[in-house]
Amino acid sequence: MAALSLPAVVLAGGSEPEAVARYLGLPHKALAVVGGKPALVWVIEALLAAERIGPVVVSTQLDAVAQIVPEGVGVAWAGGSGFLDTLAAGFAYFADADKVLLATGDLPLLSPAAVDDFARRALDSGAELCYSTVEEKRLSALPGQPSRLLIRLREGRYAGGNLVVMSRRFFQQEAPRVHLAFAGRKSGLALARLLGLRFIWGLFRGNLSIADIVAKAERILRVPCLAVDSQYPEIAFDLDKPEHIAMAEEALAQHAAAQRREP
């Protein structure tokens, strides 16, 4: 029996250019050229090469992004520039899909193996919201060991990844909470309102476990959730800062050199 697969939505919309895009004078950081190709193209190629991924679409409201989407990959035109607009366009494009894999468009190091590992574990779990994480020690495999926001848990320190599996039912029922969580992801006050001060204090003290986080998410979001501890650090490597471009170039050069040495 053929393995289950997921359609994939690459998120490449937004109202204002982020730091890397502003630095390069681009409307979106997914357009940043790394190793001779835009970051968006690296993401698409990794998804297309993954065995557990079906059709791929890029969700955006930007003409510049749509113009570089490779042939055979769809474009879902977002009705606005907000995060929920981009998500809604992806779900609308795959109108028959119960779940989709979401990836940001700025992951130049993303590999098919990383995608397959995450998609397989998400599908096997049956959870309606699956979020990727990477333990700090694995980030040392990346050139320059780029700084990332790390959360201290009982099991160790973790960075958030850039792959998510989300069910249509969850998106339709909990879109306002998705928006609040995304909008407040870098605000301690916003997160405290969403999660509660006691929970935030426990997180700050490092007293919580992965199971505690998942249980809290399930109580708030009212769906089965899963945190996937990935062994692939590339899913946590996005282009947040201009210096990340040089780091990505170095990593791609090392990978190409390793492939040339293989018999």
**pLDDT at res. 209:** 81
Answer yes or no: is pLDDT of 263 > 80: no
Render 96-112 in DSSP notation, one character per residue.
T-SEEEEEES--TT--H
Average pLDDT in the 120-143 region? 89
Of the ranges 207-216, 218-227, 237-246, which is most confident? 237-246
**The predicted structure's pLDDT at residue 197:** 60
| In the predicted structure, residue 149 carries a pLDDT above the cut 60 | yes
Q: 110: pLDDT confidence band, cut at 50, 70 and 90? A: very high
What's the CA gap between 221 and 230, in Å, rounded? 23
Task: For residue 33, give Cα distances in angstroms to 24, 170, 177, 188, 246.
Answer: 10, 34, 34, 33, 11
pLDDT at residue 251 greater than cutoff 60 = yes
Distances (CA, A) of 199 to 67, 205, 250: 44, 10, 39
The whole-number average pLDDT for the span 132-152 is 77
Task: Indicate the SS3 state at residue 198.
Answer: helix
Q: Answer yes or no: is pLDDT of 70 > 70.
A: yes
pLDDT higher at 246 or 183: 246
Could you give the CA distance from residue 2 to residue 55 in angstroms, rounded to a whole number? 16
What are the tens digits of pLDDT across the range 8-56?
A: 999 999 777 788 999 999 999 999 999 999 999 999 999 999 999 999 9
Q: What's residue 1's pLDDT?
A: 41
- Among 6-15, 137-146, 154-163, 180-189, which range has the highest average pLDDT? 6-15
What pLDDT does 189 receive? 47
**Domain residue spans of the chain:** 6-253
Q: Which pLDDT score is estimated for 220?
A: 79
Report the candidate in 177, 28, 156 with the shortest Cα–Cα distance to residue 104: 28
pLDDT value at position 218?
81
Max distance between CA atoms of the chain, in angstroms, equals 56
Confidence of residue 185 (pLDDT cuts 50, 70, 90): very low
For residues 145 and 139, the answer to whether their CB atoms sit within 8 Å is: yes
Helices (H), the chain: 19-24, 39-49, 63-66, 83-93, 112-125, 136-139, 168-183, 188-195, 197-205, 210-221, 243-261
The label of the residue with tokens 């979106």 reads 28
Query: What pLDDT sits at residue 199?
Result: 60
Q: Between these two residues, 148 and 221, which has the higher pLDDT value?
A: 221
pLDDT at 229 over 60: yes
Taking residues 74-81, what's their average pLDDT? Answer: 93
What's the alpha-carbon Rg for the chain, to the nearest Å? Answer: 18
Q: Which residue has the higher pLDDT, 158 or 261?
A: 158
Burial letters 228-246, b for 16+ CB under 10 A, else e: bebebbbbbbbbbeeebbe
Instruction: Enumerate residues 6+ apart whose C-beta is below 8 A from 107.
Output: 39, 42, 43, 46, 162, 234, 235, 237, 238
0.95 exceeded by the pTM?
no
What is the crossing angle of helices 210-221 and 168-183, to 10°?
110
Question: CATH for 6-253?
Answer: 3.90.550.10
Two structure tokens written together for 146: 């780029």
Q: Which residues on adjacent β-strands are paired with residue 67?
A: none
Highest mean pLDDT among 64-78, 202-216, 222-236 belongs to 64-78
Nearest-angstrom CA–CA distance, 99 and 124: 13
Handedness of CA 114, 116, 122, 125 (dihedral sign): negative
pLDDT higher than threshold 50 for residue 233: yes
Higher pLDDT, 204 or 233: 233
